[in-house]
């Protein structure tokens, strides 16, 4: 893989639009239970804690970038297909 996905987690609201839009299921949004450290597949207090990108699945298509209403996802590097501004 010659590209990378960058997510500004300070601005991510945990809406899940990117996860739903991803055609290869390369994104996983979850929170962590502080007591057990187990993944919880929901958002606490309207804020996501972790957005995992499974690099081995990611095709660099940019669908997640277009799906994010808060403009917090970026693709960079050689081979990344940056969505055009419409």
Tell me: domain 4-75, CATH 1.10.760.10, correct?
no
* 86 residues of the chain, pLDDT tens digit each: 467 888 888 888 888 899 999 999 999 887 777 777 777 666 666 665 678 888 888 888 999 999 999 999 998 876 555 555 44
- Model confidence, pTM: 0.72
Domain limits, the chain = 4-75
Distance separating alpha carbons of residues 56 and 84, to the nearest angstrom: 24
Residues 6+ apart with CB under 8 A from 83: 62, 63, 65, 66
3-state helix, strand and coil shares in percent for the chain, rounded to the nearest 5: 10, 30, 60
């Amino acid at each position: 893989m010659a590209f990378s996905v960058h997510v500004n987690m300070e601005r991510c609201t945990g809406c899940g639009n990117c996860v739903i839009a991803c055609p290869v299921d390369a994104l996983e949004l979850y929170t962590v239970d502080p007591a057990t450290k187990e993944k919880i597949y929901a958002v606490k207090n309207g804020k996501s804690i972790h957005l995992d990108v499974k690099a081995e699945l990611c095709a660099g298509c940019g669908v997640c970038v277009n799906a994010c209403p808060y403009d917090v996802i970026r693709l960079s590097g050689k081979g990344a297909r940056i969505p055009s501004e419409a």
